[in-house]
Amino acid sequence: MVRHEMQWTVKYFQYQEKQWLERLVGGDDDDIGRAVGLQCYAAKQAGLWRAFSEKAMARFKVEIPELQFGDW
């Protein structure tokens, strides 16, 4: 059970990163200043979720070395 929860946690982090990357490339360019600000925020959030994912994988691998993680 714990093994699956570790994998689900990483997958959730990867999913959140993907969501923010989609917000980064998508969106409305009506207001250029606003669009740039939103793109910066989305890039920052995507990086944050990627860092969560990478840290979780590193820590979980210490506990269960044979644990495998897939990307979404």
Neighbours of 6 (CB within 10 A): 19
Task: Tell me what pLDDT residue 57 has.
Answer: 93
| pLDDT of 2 higher than 80 | yes
Q: Is residue 1 part of a domain?
A: no
* Structural domain span for residue 21: 7-63
At 17 the pLDDT is 96
Domain assignment of residue 68, yes or no: no
Examine residue 33 and state whether it is found in any structural domain, yes or no.
Answer: yes
Nearest to 53 by CA among 45, 65, 41, 63: 45
Using CA atoms, how far apart are residues 32 and 65, in angstroms rounded to an integer? Answer: 47
Let me know: does 20 contact 42? Beta carbons within 8 Å: yes
Task: Identify whether 42 is part of a domain.
Answer: yes
Predicted local confidence at residue 59, as pLDDT: 94
Among 6-10, 28-32, 65-69, the minimum mean pLDDT is found in: 28-32
Structural domain total, the chain: 1
pTM (2 decimals)? 0.82
What local confidence, expressed as pLDDT, does residue 43 receive?
A: 96
